[in-house]
Amino acid sequence: MAKHYNRKFVNEIIGTLKKNGFECTPMKKDKNKFKISKENGPLTIIHSGESCYHPLRRFLKSTYNFDLEAL
């Protein structure tokens, strides 16, 4: 059976971050996890899915002053 990848999260959230200059690279062994950073700034690793949306939003707001909900 094939693995399930959360395409909605990847297309909407990761796509938006890439358009705004963030580096979003999937982990080598687990494609459901992403490394997110911007211009050699602090790095966070998140699991793709709805449960990580709010922690990711808080990290982006506090670290980069970037508001996902304003887009």
Tens digits of residue pLDDT in 10-29: 888 889 999 999 999 999 88
Entry pTM: 0.81
pLDDT tens digits, one per residue of 56-65: 999 999 999 9
Distances, alpha carbon 60 to alpha carbons 35, 41, 46, 53, 55, in Å: 13, 11, 12, 11, 9
Domain segments of the chain as ranges: 7-65
CA distance 36 to 17: 9
Quick one: fold of 7-65? Metal Transport, Frataxin; Chain A (3.30.920)
